[in-house]
Amino acid sequence: MLSVCKFLDSIVDGSTMEWPFGPYETVMGAILLLTIPIQRILTRDEPEMRVALSDLLGEIKEKGYKWHISVYLIMYGFKAFIDQHNEAIKPRVGGFTHYVHGFEGELTLWVQESFRNEMLSDILSFHYLFVYLFLIWFSPIYYILCRDEVMADKAVLNYSIIYVLAIPLYLFFNVEVTSSFIPGMDAIMYHESWNLFFFTEVDPLDNGIPSLHVGLPLGLLIINRLHVRGLGIKMSEWRHREFDLFVAANIPIYLFSIQYLGIHWISDVIPGVILAVICALFAHGIQPKLRNLRENGLRSLAHPRNVSYTATVFSVIGTLVLVFVIVDGPGTDENEPTMRVGSGDVNLDVIEVHSLWHPAEVEVTNVGLEDVQILVIHRDMVEEHARGGKIDWSGFSDRDIQILSPGEAYQVEVETPTVYDGHYVLVSNQGDYGVGEVRITIEYVDGDLIWTGVLSSVPSFAISGLVVGRMIWSDKDEVPKQTSDE
């Protein structure tokens, strides 16, 4: 894999022919090529349980896998819909990174500095993107190809439900990546020319809490154990035990890499674990009901009255907290920084394209004690300067750079007449010492999305309430019966 990364880097640098695909296309191509070989390796001791590729369409039709495909298509559109909210509502939500930093300090910087190695950076960068997307795709297709429709259902539910659960945290509890807030912390993966556009287009860089890179595989592991317990066998006897070990082996790698690469705080893992537990319990309980929809209709989704009441209470309380505590709440304190830069650091924030007619209104305020340098620039002008987790500040023209003294603010309107007009706000501290602190606020035309953001968060509260309700009321009828597996 390392040689592949080096080859792609040389292509991007222009030393060979231009590589026509970006990180996402390259990784997805590798995933599709490896799906069948890996599935065949994991099922080498039970070839009779494999679905032949020539029979795959028949298997999808017979086992009712059309809704699995529909869920992935819906989630693709739903995620794009949620992503549209993130930056638009941020001026009224603010950020909470300073709370996390005050609690946790700079331990992740020690991790990066202690283990910093070029080969390790390449391997972990590839693993961070590849394995996460691989698990999202491979988990259900693996079970489909193994003729296990129950686990295929649960794998799809694990992916979709855990994202739904994360929505209120992603939208209303913004926590910046560590490389944007800890002085001296490099964005090893983000500040790389080949990765730069991809990550700044799909990642708002403030969705630290929760870490789904840990939560998603952990949720699948919990589902596996609930499933095996329902079958009345030991994990060592389960025919998917090797796939389970594969998933489990990647969690400690993620626990390390998300710290090392300058992405997540250690604190981000805890909400990810909590959501994994809620997601697993819900997916395990709802799967038999979904399979019974055709026979029993919507009645199969009904819950006992006390459980439904608990879900309603959770939904109401969660919504009230968002509306009356979080919106225009403590995260919007204008004296708190959203970005911090040490001597020589260069960090970036993304100005997204939300309208082709209305400009984005950008305000950068120096809330620290050191001078900072600000540059608002088209993203295409930054790519060549991003190498090895750093952005070379010396390559930019001094005439466009704004110098902000403590207490000063810089305001600018940025036009985005096409969907390709992405811009960055680059922030640097070119002083010999100290830490620069700025608060970046970007107003978009669709700021009223705050209310659809609140509505989009209600399912998360309801699902959490259903899981807690079932635990409180100990409803025996909620224990699912398995319909297949051996």
Residues 256-296 have pLDDT tens digits of 999 999 999 999 999 999 999 999 999 999 999 888 877 77
Distance CA 346, CA 389 (A): 10
pLDDT digits 0-9 by tens, 200-222? 888 888 999 999 999 999 999 99
pLDDT digits 0-9 by tens, 323-346? 999 999 999 999 999 999 999 999
Distance CA 118, CA 98 (A): 30
pLDDT digits 0-9 by tens, 416-433? 999 888 899 999 999 988
pTM: 0.90
Distance CA 153, CA 141 (A): 10
pLDDT digits 0-9 by tens, 234-251? 999 999 999 999 999 999
The angle formed by the CA atoms of residues 446, 447 and 453, to the nearest 5 degrees, is 100
Residue 215 neighbours by CB distance under 10 Å: 29
The mean of the pLDDT values for the chain is 90
pLDDT digits 0-9 by tens, 386-412? 998 999 999 898 889 999 999 999 999
pLDDT digits 0-9 by tens, 5-25? 544 454 444 444 466 777 888
Q: Is 95:174 a contact under the CB 8 Å cutoff?
A: yes
pLDDT digits 0-9 by tens, 96-110? 999 999 999 999 999
Instruction: Tell me what the mean pLDDT of segment 435-445 comes to.
Output: 97
Distance CA 260, CA 109 (A): 8
Please give the sequence-ordered ranges of beta strands (E in DSSP) within 311-417, or none if there are none: 339-342, 346-351, 360-366, 372-378, 386-387, 390-391, 402-404, 409-414
User: What pLDDT shows up at residue 3?
Assistant: 44
Distance CA 28, CA 33 (A): 9
Q: Classify residue 266 by its DSSP letter.
A: G
All structural domains of the chain, each given as residue ranges with its CATH number in brackets, are: 21-291 (no CATH), 333-446 (2.60.120.680)
